[in-house]
Amino acid sequence: MNLKDKIKQRAAQIHEEIRSIRHHLHQNPELSFQEHETQQFVEEQLKQIGISEVQRIADTGLVAYIRGTDNGKTIALRADMDALPIQEVPGRPYGSKNPGVMHACGHDVHTTSLLGAAKLLNETRGEWSGTIKLLFQPGEEKMPGGATLMIRDGAIKGAHSIIGQHVMPLLPVGTVGFRSGLYMASADEIHMTVKGKGGHGAMPQFNIDPVLITAHILTSLQQIVSRNASPIIPSVLSFGKVIANGATNVIPNEVKLEGTFRTLDEAWRAEALEKIKKMAEGIAESMGGYCEVNIVHGYPFLKNDERLSADAKTWAIDYLGADKVHDLDIWMAAEDFSYYSQEMPACFYRLGVRNEAKGITSSVHTPNFDIDEDALLIGAGLMAWLALKELGN
């Protein structure tokens, strides 16, 4: 039996085992940078697999090593471990036991898949050459992003390239998706406080209305994208929170706004953020008010290495069949895997988890999110196969 068929067969044999791991992780979610019990559990699982070379890193992260028959080159496989502050819908036998905390973004799936891949790779280590680093990363959901801490502490030192996967509820179970080149956006948070002079709504002549100023700012800022951005550079400017704590007849002293700016070009990113700040401040000043602007810089854009991603797609077709491998569009969400992609050749691909017949269709970051657990077969097996092919086996 060749190595590919051995990986596929063994992935099917351990399916129930890795399902139970996923259930444990899903029942015991921990928020970003608080993954102490998760870290302990993953470390124990690695040792049960027979992987003894395990290092705690980035406080609640782990790096483990699987070494083949000779040194060869080194590659990294990454999974994130943190959960979100979301209350899961009740009634699931494997539902979260931690009130208000849920694996609503599939990080339990990512961690389970990497543990499954680790088992497959460790069992076959006498049949391939090279070294594989397993990165179990904390804090993807919260800035500055656990990837920055992993890189800081040397997690990718010596690695030639890195591969990661993420669940995608838009893709049917049994399929995966790839994109070469620019894939995901940078993400910055914009916090504004528009200050004026509050008073009675019936006497606006005595007030400086921050609500009206805010309305002008919100409308005008959209021209940053529509009239300043190059049409060939994807850009998104959205405000999702506006608080004007007045009343029907009370003009407040201030209004607070929160939003996000996303793009796929670092030079334009810096220019746009400066334009947003100057425009908001200028509009407020011209109307007699004042605007405080605080921009929190988030993750950079994610660029998949052209060579690695094209190869990974070819290897996935070989493993799954052409009908199971899809091309992805640019996605304006953000991921701290982008930090790895800024440092080394990287491939971040998508794992299909959708099953309409079973009612599994909810998006990530929702209380209803779930997966068809048949996805774990591919989550573990394909990742192991991609690692072996990238090592040259």
* DSSP code at position 125: G
What is d(CA 252, CA 239) in angstroms, rounded to the nearest whole number?
20
Burial 77-110 (b: 16+ CB within 10 A, else e): bbbbbbbbebebeeeeebebeeeebbbbbbbbbb
Q: Which three-class secondary structure state does DSSP give residue 351?
A: strand
Q: Which of 30, 35, 80, 82 is catalytic?
A: 82
Dihedral, CA atoms, 102, 175, 387, 389, nearest 10 degrees? 180
Asked if 62 and 146 count as a contact pair (C-beta separation under 8 A), the reply is no
Within 8 A by CB and 6+ apart from 342, the residues are: 300, 303
Distances (CA, A) of 284 to 61, 243, 251, 293: 45, 16, 16, 11
**Which tokens hold the place of 305?**
């290495």
Residue 19 CB neighbour total at 10 angstroms: 17
Within 8 A by CB and 6+ apart from 17, the residues are: none
What is d(CA 106, CA 80) in angstroms, rounded to the nearest whole number?
9
Instruction: Report strand pairing: 176-178 vs 346-354.
Output: antiparallel
Amino acid at 95: G
Q: Which of 30, 88, 140, 390 is catalytic?
A: 140
Whether 5 is catalytic: no
Asked if 32 and 82 count as a contact pair (C-beta separation under 8 A), the reply is yes
Whether 372 is catalytic: no
Asked if 326 and 175 count as a contact pair (C-beta separation under 8 A), the reply is yes
What is d(CA 59, CA 257) in angstroms, rounded to the nearest whole number?
33
Counts of helices then strands in the chain (DSSP H, E): 11, 16
Residue 182 CB neighbour total at 10 angstroms: 15
- Percent helix, strand, coil in the chain (nearest 5)? 40, 25, 35
Q: Supply angle C-alpha 249, 252, 257, rounded to 5.
A: 125
Q: Which residues are catalytic?
A: 82, 140
